[in-house]
Each structure stands twice: as C-alpha cells, then as structure tokens.
Amino acid sequence: MVVTKTKLPVVYMDETGNKESDRFFVVGFLSVSDTEQLNSELMRIKEQIEALSRFNRLKHVQMLKSEGDIEQLYNFAKSAGTFELKFKHITEENIRFFKILIKILIHRIDFRFDALVIDRKDPNYRHTDLSDMYKIITHLYFNHRCKVGSIFVPDSFDYRWNWASMLNNPQIVAIIPSSSHALLALQTVDILTGLVAQGLKNKADYTNKDKVRASLLKVFTEEAKVSIEKSVTVNKPKYISIWTIDFSRTKKGAQSMDKKSNLGS
C-alpha cells in the first residue's frame, strides 16, 4: 500500500502601518502549500538583492573611511544587522530585482494571500492598542477566511505575546512564532502587505519612496490581475483578497468580537 503524505498549509503573517499616524493598518496572511518550493524559487533573486546591498554597504564604508568620518563610520557599523527583504528597503537601484521576485511569486509559486485592513478614518473606528487590533484581525481571518487546517507562523514582534491563549480555532494545528529575518516567506508577506498598503494610499499623499515603489505596485497589479481596493478578491492567476473591516457592523466598534463577520462586502 502506498502512503501519501499530505502537507499542511503554512500561514505566514506580517503587518504594516502600526503607527497611529498611518491611515491603514494592514495585516497580511500568506498561505503556502509548499514552503520548500517558495524558498527554492525565490532564493536566487533574494541572493542577488542581498549581494547588491552588501556591495553598496561596502562602497559607503570605503567612502566614509576615505573621508576620515570616523563618527559616521562608527554609527554605520553599529547599525549593521541581518539582511532581509523588506518593502521599505526598495530603491531605484534594486527595484528591478523586486519586480522579478513578484513575477516569480505570481507565476511559479502556489499560495493564497489575504490582506485584512483597518482604516483609521472609518468614523466608527476607535483608537485601541495594537494587541486588540491583532486580536480582531487574526480572529476574523481564522474564523472567516482560513478554511483548512494550517500551521500559523506570525512574525514574532513581542516575545511576551501569547498567541495560543488568544487564538482558539480548530483550523490552527500549531502556532510557531518566528522572526522575519529567519524566514523568506515572512519577508515575502512584508513585501505583499507593503504593496497593498501603498495601493490603498491616496497618490496625493505619496512620499518620494512611494513614488519610487509605484512601478513595483504596477507590476504586482498587472501580473496578479488585481486592482488594489478596500474590498476586492481575485482567484486567478492566484487567490488574492483584500478586506477592510467595517466597524459599523459591530455594536462596540473595535472592541467587539462578535461571531458574525466584520469584513466589508
């Protein structure tokens, strides 16, 4: 008898817009059926982006050394950290690599992506701390969007956070908090979530960095055949869904966790 092994999907979660001054708080959930495939397909382009980053860093160090700017050189050395792909680190120089990454992701990797959004300009939204916002969004995702048993890997932003005590859902087989620098899949969520957040942003409010990243957003929407809106779902070429929470549909606004969905339709 042949025994067929079934892989459990892994749901990776990351967020953007956690300052109260940001209009949109976006949490991305990337459900991947084969993490090994994601790593093998994206590793080469990640290594190219990292090589460019290291080259530019070395050039900057050499410039500071030649100028004798010991203070800046010291501060630069102190800020050295583990390399990871991040939406905020996209530049005019490396954006061509990120465009390739998006195309590989859309056309070669099996995934589902949900972005759940809190719009702080919703008249029924009331300021609450980040922990409550995470509770709202993760409950909504696992109660209304995730339909199969999965392993949940959230970006571990606080070691004191107890995900297991907060989430009680039969679809969650295991919870494994991790750090984004350790997992390429979490870095991928960071990029996708950043794209959604920028897509929701009014172009009149674009910063210079937003203007640089606009061409990457264009590649993403064209390749994924999705228009970034507050409520949208596409199924081909990949399942991508954006849902903005409608706080008018709860009795207590952000504090309410009633059983019916608070997702905008």
Closest CA to 256 of 264, 247, 245: 247
| Cβ proximity of 85 and 187 under 8 Å | yes
pLDDT above 90 as % of the chain: 56
Residues across the chain: 265
> Residue 75 pLDDT > 80, yes or no?
no
Backbone phi, psi, residue 153, to 5°: -120, 90
The segment with the largest mean pLDDT, out of 93-97, 154-158, 171-175, is 93-97
> Residue 259 pLDDT > 50, yes or no?
no
Q: Residue 200 has which token pair? A: 């929701």
In one letter, which amino acid is 182? Answer: A
> Residue 193 pLDDT > 70, yes or no?
yes
> Residue 7 pLDDT > 70, yes or no?
yes
Task: Return the pLDDT at 190.
Answer: 97
Task: Return the pLDDT at 136.
Answer: 84
Q: Identify the CATH assignment for 10-54+86-255 out of 3.30.420, 3.40.50, 3.30.700, 1.25.10.
A: 3.30.420
> Residue 264 pLDDT > 80, yes or no?
no
Q: Where are the domains of the chain?
A: 10-54+86-255
Beta bridge partners, 178, equal: 155
Q: How many other C-beta atoms lie within 10 A of the C-beta of residue 204?
A: 5
Nearest-angstrom CA–CA distance, 2 and 34: 21
- Can you tell me whether residue 22 is helix, strand or coil? coil
> Residue 166 pLDDT > 50, yes or no?
yes
DSSP string, 127-168: ---HHHHHHHHHHHIIIII--S-EEEEEB-S-TT--HHHH--
DSSP string, 211-249: HHHHHHHHHHHHHHT----SEEEE-SSSEEEEEEB-GGG
Task: Return the pLDDT at 5.
Answer: 55
> pLDDT, tens digit, for every residue of 104-154?
999 999 999 999 999 999 998 887 777 788 888 888 999 889 888 999 999
Q: What is the mean pLDDT of residues 158-167?
A: 74
Residue of higher predicted confidence among 6 and 162: 162
Q: Residue 120 has which token pair? A: 């702080």
| Cβ proximity of 42 and 105 under 8 Å | yes
> pLDDT, tens digit, for every residue of 30-70?
999 999 999 999 999 999 999 987 766 666 567 666 766 67
